Each structure stands twice: as structure tokens, then as C-alpha cells.
Chain A
């Protein structure tokens, strides 16, 4: 009996191997009419949780688009992989272009990895929609004409929260103590913050660099306690923000804490009762916009939990790409660039439409400061954040929070 089984297994194995050897080219040719897209996002490490949401978002958009007949009558086929680290991200991007024959690249959350993929895109003259990395440098001194940036950059987040602090009398003459993530994005956030403090009368009394693998903040908290600042400010990213706010609440330091970067998944992970202060966000699932609510309902039905901002941004990014391919009737790099550069308006499930600024390729869109609801007001474990009004205000230009042409060193 056992021998018989083993034979069967062997036979099945051989058949499978044979079939895949013969079948492989067939699969490829059957797929040639699909529009292939290379997608990279961190699935491990301190940004891994955000990357998981990113994948859910882009998969949902892919499914919706393919269900309604695809783009130009062709289905989209997304290859999505863990970008791991900047070096691996670049290698994988190059492989996707060379071997998988993808038409263009999308994705990323880690600013350092986004930078290396941008270089691959420029070298190969291929289009890269950089979705989730927020460093100013990517849109600034490192910008290139093959890359478009969807998420809000450091400067916008600092301005969004900073303005709320000015309004609440928490800026002028106040002593700030910042904790900064020791990599490209953190440094970027810190320099935006310093600019804002200098322009608005805030005093920076301490700024500590934090390696991205730190998960115990107790030594930093003791240092902060000795410095006695008026406001503590986080320039961290990913799950480090969660760890900081949890431990801040554990040690019960009396100074108010705010931050210039927070993704909602990281806020949710901190749990109600640990988070306080004012933070920026690019989108939140309670946003009162009908199209946004439909998206949230569909997502929640599909995955059993509300979408995080990275799920939203990947979803609208693929929709923007689909719109661009449909209207240019092409996946040609130059045609896509031209389409996005002419300030085409996109519905991104917010009250106002968004457009890419042609001279630095950043998406101009609304952002929101948020605070934390009073205890007992949250409807569920995802609902404890209270969204502030959109910035810029309805009567202002969408560009007022972004760096001006004089401030931003980008030349395409």
C-alpha cells in the first residue's frame, strides 16, 4: 500500500514537472495580452504591516478593474513582492523590467527603497508611480522625470500639524524635544520640522536620532524627562511610532506629545487610551465623502476590517494609472508622463480632486490633522481618531502646504 502510494506520488510529481515544463510557455503566451505591472512594497520589517495593507488595496483595485473588462480590453496583471531593503528593491525592480517584462513600476513605502527604485526607473526610462514614501528628498533634490509621487511629503505633514499647533498656542516660545528616525525619511522630517519651528517661533531644545530597529524607548523617555520640554514631537515612522506612544503612556510623562508622521495602522496598533496629541494623515476611513464611504464599505466587506491609508492610496493609485492608460491608449512611458504632467484632475475619493504638479511630479491633494476622541466615544477599535477639517481649506490653493518652487530644489 505504501509503495503504491509512493509510486503515485512520484508519478504525480513527474507529471506535474512535465506539465509545467511544457505548459510554461503556454501560460506566458496566454498572458501576453495582460498589462503587466511590477509592484514593490515592504512586507517585513518596521513598515511591513503598512505594506500588507498596501497589497490589499492594490489587489482590490486590480480585481475591480479586471471585472469591468480591464484596461483597453486587456486585464491588468500585478506582480507584487516584498521590497525588503533598498538594495533588494532595486534588484527586484530591475528584474521585473528585464525578465517579467512589466510595463511600469508602482509601490513603495520606505523612502530609502523608493529612492533606489527611482534610479532604476530613470536608468531604464520606465515609468514609476511612487505611492507611499513621504520623504521630501524624493520630490526634491533626488526627483526625476520618470517618477510621480502620490503620498503627502514630510513638508506637508509638518505644515498640517504645525498649523494646528500654532492655532492651539502650542508653538510660539515653546520648547520642543524631537525623536527622529535615523534614516532618509526621519532626517527629512526633522529638517522640515526645524524649518517650521524657526519660522513660527518654536524652540528646539533636543533632537535625538533613533535607529530604526529600536523597540524599547525607555532610555529616551528618561532623557526627555530630564530635559523638561513643553512639547515632545515624534519624527519616527512605522511601528516605532506605536512603540513610542505606548511606552510614553506607560511611563506617564506629563508633556503633550505630537508627531509629524503617523499611519493609521500604527495608531490602531497602539490601541485606544495610549494615543494623544495632534498628528497628520493623508486619508482616514471615516472621511465624510460618498465615494470614500463606498470604498470603505466594499473593502470592509471583502477583508473584514476597514482600509488603512496605505490600502486607500494604492487603490486610488492603480485607478489613476488605469485612467491614464485608457485615455492615452498606451503604456508608453513618455505618453504617460505627458498625461500626468498636464495637471489632469483625478478623483481620489476626497472632497476635492487632485492633480500632479508638473514641475516636481507631486500629487497636490487635501490632508488632515487628527486628534484622539475622548474616552468612550469610539464605536470600534478602529474609530478612536477624530479627523480635523481638510487642509488646505476649501478656498485655498491645494499647493499652499507644499514646498514652493523656491524652497524645493527639484529640477526634472
Chain B
């Protein structure tokens, strides 16, 4: 019974990992770029949400901060990322890594090195007890938001013309080009979406922990682990991996607290050993 509580709690946490990992996966799948600056947008989302909360309140901040950062994502794609789709992957790694460091320092210059505190609205604070289970009300709301966003993204990818081009672009970019469709604007949209989701993760997680300059560097590792476990190009792979990572971490902490953080890397190790392509990873020609 106690274990079940940890499993459910792990699912909730997994939902939050998902917000960050899904964008990372999409950008990698379509553009072939590992965006190490993804964490920077997560951190920016948190900082911008603090600024907006101070002026307009919590609700508007959760909506406006991801939008503002997503707009920044357009500039990021247009002026930086775009140059590296067909380049040696090491170059895009270097550029996004450098960008992550610049962003962290900029945050330190603008907002200071001391951690800032975001407060939860009183109405969302406190526990909800369902049966024998204890939940944080705030995290349940977060879970609902994640589910909603997830549904939106799934519909966008699978039920719209936009999604068809993006999915085709992942598998057969040459064919898409041969059909006379430019992938460029789609890539801009994908980056905007991915970056916006990361910012949303940052904005929503800010009241749970603290907002500090290095928060982006902290999350990027976990997000990357989730993407690797889930497998490239697979929407459900990332979803499954994020939930799995959350649950494995929670259950490990229950039995062996000291190994809690190491457990997700063990999981990645095992997955890579037995299924190098990731749990639901598809075979993608351009990466083979």
C-alpha cells in the first residue's frame, strides 16, 4: 500500500519531467540537434514567471511566461539553431552548450546568484488525502495541466496537417522536400513548442523548489535521460520513459534513499544495454 503511494507520486513527478523532455525529443527528432540549451529556457520560464507573478498574479504568469519564452525560442531557432541542422552534430552540441552557459551567467547578472522564491497560491497549497494516499494539491493541478498539454500536442501531431508534415519530416526529410514542402517553418514551430513547454515546466516547478541560475543545468541531465530511455521519434516513448523515471526514483528512495538519484541512470544503463534504440524508439534513417 505504501509502495503504491510512492508509485502514484512518481507518476506525478514523471509528468513534470515530461514537459521538459518532450520538447527536447521533438527538437532532436526533427532537427537532429541535441539542444543542450533546453534547460536555459526552463530556467528562463521560471524567472519570467516570477516577474509576471509579481505584477499580474499567479494565473497570468503560468500562461504568459511560456508564451514569452516560446517567442524567444523563435529567435533562437531563426538565428542560431537553423545554421546547424546539416552540420556536424558536435557543432550544435558546442553551440547549445555555450548558449546554456551564457544564459546561466545572464540570469546571474540580471536576477542575482541568490535563489529566489516563488510562492504557491494559498488555494492550491496543502495536502489532499484520498483514501490512504496523500497528495499535494498543487501537484495534482500540475498533473492535470500536463495531461491537457500532452493531449494538445498529441492531437497536433496526429490529427492535423501540421503534424503530418512534422512526422514525415522526422522519418523522411528528403521525401518531404521532394514534395515541395519546406521544413524550415515547421522546425521553427517545433522549437517554439518545445521551448515553450520547457518554460512551462520551469514556471510550474518554481513554487515547489527554488528559482536559481543553475536550475537549467540541473534539469537538462534528467530530461536527456528520459529522451534516451524513451527512444527517438516516439511520442509515447517519451511519455512512458518520463513516468517510468519518476516511479523508479520514488520506489528506490522508498527502499534505498541514498541510491535515489543514481537509480535513473541505472535505468538508462539497462535500457541502453538491452534496447539501444530506447523503449519505443523507431528506426530513423538519418540517424542510423
Q: In the complex, are the beta carbons of A250 and B136 less than 8 A apart? A: yes
Q: In the complex, are the beta carbons of A211 and B113 less than 8 A apart? A: no
Query: Which chain A residue has the least Cβ–Cβ distance from B8?
Result: A222
Please tell me which stretch of B59-67, B190-198, B210-218 contacts chain A, meaning at least 4 of its Cβ atoms lie within 8 angstroms of it. B210-218
Q: In the complex, are the beta carbons of B261 and A211 less than 8 A apart? A: yes
Which residues from chain B sit less than 8 Å from chain A, CB to CB?
A: 2, 5-6, 9-10, 12-13, 112-117, 119-120, 125-127, 134, 136, 138-139, 207-210, 212-214, 218, 249-250, 253-254, 257-258, 260-262
Q: In the complex, are the beta carbons of B5 and A270 less than 8 A apart? A: no
Q: In the complex, are the beta carbons of A216 and B136 less than 8 A apart? A: no
A interface, by DSSP: helix, strand, loop or mixed?
helix
B262 to chain A, nearest CB (A): 8
A270 and B117 contact, Cβ closer than 8 Å, known pairs A223-B254, A251-B134:
yes
Which residues from chain A sit less than 8 Å from chain B, CB to CB?
A: 43-45, 48-49, 51-53, 182, 208-211, 213-216, 218-220, 222-223, 225-226, 239, 242-243, 246-247, 249-253, 265-266, 268-271, 273
Q: Which chain A positions have C-beta within 8 A of B262?
A: 211
In the bound complex, CA of A266 to CA of B117 (Å): 10
A269 and B116 contact, Cβ closer than 8 Å, known pairs A219-B6, A220-B257, A246-B209:
yes
In the bound complex, CA of A45 to CA of B134 (Å): 31
In the bound complex, CA of A295 to CA of B114 (Å): 20
Q: Which chain B positions have C-beta within 8 A of A213?
A: 218, 261
In the bound complex, CA of A90 to CA of B139 (Å): 42
Q: In the complex, are the beta carbons of A218 and B258 less than 8 A apart? A: no
B147 to chain A, nearest CB (A): 18
Q: Which chain B positions have C-beta within 8 A of A43?
A: 113
Task: Name the contact of A222 in the complex, choosing from B119, B134, B212 (C-beta under 8 A).
Answer: B134
Task: Name the contact of A250 in the complex, choosing from B13, B138, B210, B261 (C-beta under 8 A).
Answer: B138
Can you list 30 A-B contacts with CB-CB less than 8 angstroms, sorted by A residue number? Answer: A44-B214, A48-B212, A48-B214, A53-B114, A210-B257, A213-B218, A216-B208, A218-B250, A222-B2, A222-B5, A222-B134, A223-B254, A242-B115, A242-B210, A243-B210, A247-B209, A250-B120, A250-B125, A250-B136, A250-B138, A250-B139, A251-B127, A251-B134, A252-B127, A265-B115, A269-B114, A269-B115, A270-B117, A271-B119, A273-B119
In the bound complex, CA of A327 to CA of B250 (Å): 58
A239 and B210 contact, Cβ closer than 8 Å, known pairs A222-B5, A249-B125, A270-B117:
yes
In the bound complex, CA of A251 to CA of B208 (Å): 10
B268 to chain A, nearest CB (A): 16
B270 to chain A, nearest CB (A): 20
In the bound complex, CA of A214 to CA of B249 (Å): 11
Q: Which chain B positions have C-beta within 8 A of A265?
A: 114-115
Q: In the complex, are the beta carbons of B120 and A223 less than 8 A apart? A: no
In the bound complex, CA of A239 to CA of B5 (Å): 27
In the bound complex, CA of A73 to CA of B52 (Å): 51
Query: Which chain B residue has the least Cβ–Cβ distance from A269?
Result: B115
In the bound complex, CA of A239 to CA of B127 (Å): 23
Q: In the complex, are the beta carbons of B114 and A52 less than 8 A apart? A: yes
B258 to chain A, nearest CB (A): 4
Q: In the complex, are the beta carbons of A209 and B258 less than 8 A apart? A: yes
Query: Which chain B residue has the least Cβ–Cβ distance from A213?
Result: B261
In the bound complex, CA of A283 to CA of B110 (Å): 28
Query: Which chain A residue has the least Cβ–Cβ distance from B133?
Result: A222
